[in-house]
Amino acid sequence: MIDRICLSINNSCNLHCRHCNFRRSDKINDDAMLGKSEIYTILHNILHYSKKNGISSFKMGITGSGEPLFNFNIIKYINECLEDKDVDKIVTFYIITNGTLVNEDILKYLYKKKNQVTLNFSLDGYEELHNYGKEAFNKTLDGIKLYESIFHEKPVLNCTVSRQTLNNKEAVIDYFIKHNFKKINFCQLVDVEDDDLKISRLEYLSFLQFIQSKNAIVFRQNKQDKKYDCCIYGQLCGVGRTNIFVSKQGIYPCFRFYKNDEYKIGSFDAEFHEVDLNLQKLQSVKEGECYYNKYIINRREEL
């Protein structure tokens, strides 16, 4: 059953990072923003599905093709709806931000709601490395420092692992340890053709083993006792099982299928039992396999 979604609330961003597969493709549509009525429908469908199927914990990530803080009014609306409708506290959510748009008002609001919503910052390491594939290191760091001044703790980071990360892995980890960042989600960079950026699945998993050997950072990894999640974060893939990507354009197995109508499993307002049935129609993969790699990337290579 579905118990986790990634929700893309907009397609707008103030940066043009080399890493970003949305920036490098034709997938951008600045009109593709979810409004309040659409958000209400999605949240209603989540709660109805969760209660009907006895799901006590449902996690939602506000992430996707745009910078979520561009539409902070929608994030506030999501929280208000959940406070009003989710009396059993089933849904929690997190936001992944590039950190350049945070301000004191946003952070003070999120601090008051910290039991409901978590703010994660995208940071790939020290300045030279971060700016190799992304942008605005100093602005991101300013946002993190402001967060620390209000929350009195370090935020969770999302670090994209690229070829440059592997080439400089000791320096990357030394940077995180030196600055006392202890909770980091290491995400494999995917869907790039640049030889100086792309890495293989095996190289990524080897990097996770290296991180584990340092014994100084808490991170997501592939553990059999965890629920299905996402191979890009090192865990078993939730495609076809528990995890979906929701956007105004529709619902897909994950963000890598975005705007691929062959794999669209519902409109944004589809009821989740219908989406669940469509998920089950997908061809199966073995545990730990990436569905997208097997049925999209491999198919391209065969042609």
235-293 pLDDT, tens digit each: 778 887 889 999 999 999 998 898 889 999 999 999 999 999 998 888 878 777 888 88
Do 63 and 30 contact (CB within 8 A), yes or no?
no
pTM of the complete model: 0.91
**Which fold does the domain 4-302 belong to in CATH?**
TIM Barrel (3.20.20)
- Cβ neighbours for 296, distance < 8 A, ≥ 6 positions apart: 256, 257, 260
d(CA 183, CA 122): 12
| Arithmetic mean of pLDDT over the chain | 89
Task: Give the tens place of pLDDT for each residue, 133-189.
Answer: 999 999 999 999 999 999 999 999 999 999 999 999 999 999 999 999 999 999 999
Q: Which two tokens stand for residue 182?
A: 């202890």
CB within 8 A of 150, min separation 6: which ones? 104, 107, 108, 111
Inform me whether the pLDDT recorded for 26 exceeds 80: no
Task: State how far the Cα of 120 lies from the Cα of 10, in Å rounded to an integer.
Answer: 17
Length reported for the chain: 303
Task: Sketch the domain layout of the chain as residue ranges.
Answer: 4-302
Asked if residue 259 lies in contact with residue 27, where contact means CB atoms within 8 angstroms, the answer is yes
Does the pLDDT at position 21 exceed 70?
no
User: Is residue 33 scored above 90 in pLDDT?
Assistant: no
- Measured between alpha carbons, how far is residue 166 from residues 189, 198, 202, 207 in Å? 11, 10, 12, 7
